Amino acid sequence: MTATANAPRIEFRDVTKRFANPHSTARQGNGFVVAVEGVSLSIADGEVVSLIGPSGCGKSTLLNMGSGLDPVSAGEVHVDGELVTKPNRHVAFMLQKDLLLPWRTIVENVELGQEIQGVSSRERRTLALELLAKCRLTDFVDHYPHQLSGGMRQRAALARTLAVDPSVLLMDEPFSALDAQTKMVLQQDLGRTLADTGKTALFITHDLVEAVALSDRILVMSQRPGRIIEEIDVDIGDRDNPMKRRQHPKVGDYVVRLMNLLHVDQAAA
């Protein structure tokens, strides 16, 4: 199923998530911790949206609910118009760790999702090689994960994510463990790949410049329980070229605005 014109690819409708608090007592109340509360957001086809907020505000919880890995406590999540109640093939998740299987070669890792889906060996190998070429890993398709650098492994993880042809990419700080130079290279790769494929993405980051460089919009969350407190349109063009975006004179203004919303000065005091 595909999204109809102007319909969102992914939509959170008044979503709340509560977790049991194992340390609560009867005197403290109902024994639940509210991670996110009353969150509503929608992302259009081909749009890239970054989600930022303080640690512990429920950003990863939202992605877990969007992927069907974690059920909502209240509200609904829809992907391509379908209610999300369990993991589904419309959504692919990319995490901080590449999670490549060490006993499989890089090309075999990229093939894994399609192998699970029953795609023929010839079809999945052809697609995997095409994606690895786009990720500049053609010379390493028969290597094993331990033979690649961290940045190369993350590029392989991106190829694996794209191989299942998801409607929506959920990305939880995929570059946070990398050094600054490698991170910028992968941001460039991701920006061009998302533009070329027209994929929809919801991207968590603590790097405010990264959020500006990659996104059409930035959603800012409050302290727990997490709520959306601000929506910022990034109006500087060149979304397919994050490196060029980083040099735009408006970037500093966006970062200052985001810092003020996050009360970064108070947190550092």
Q: Are 191 and 246 in contact (CB under 8 A)?
A: no
Residue 263: its pLDDT value, please? 83
% of the chain beyond a pLDDT of 70 = 92
User: Residue 57's closest CA among 252, 268, 243, 262?
Assistant: 262
Residue 78: its pLDDT value, please? 96
Residue 245: its pLDDT value, please? 93
pTM here is 0.88
- Pick out the chain residues at pLDDT < 70: 1-6, 22-30, 264-269
Residue 129: its pLDDT value, please? 95
CA dist., res. 77 & res. 258, Å (int): 27
Residues 6+ apart with CB under 8 A from 119: none
Q: What is the mean pLDDT of the chain?
A: 89
Q: What is the pLDDT of residues 162-184, one digit of tens each?
A: 898 898 999 999 888 888 888 89
Q: What is the pLDDT of residues 232-249, one digit of tens each?
A: 999 998 889 999 999 999
Note the residue count of the chain.
Answer: 269
Residue 12: its pLDDT value, please? 97
User: Residue 70's closest CA among 78, 60, 79?
Assistant: 60
Q: Are 175 and 203 in contact (CB under 8 A)?
A: no
Instruction: State the amino acid at position 136 in one-letter form.
Output: R
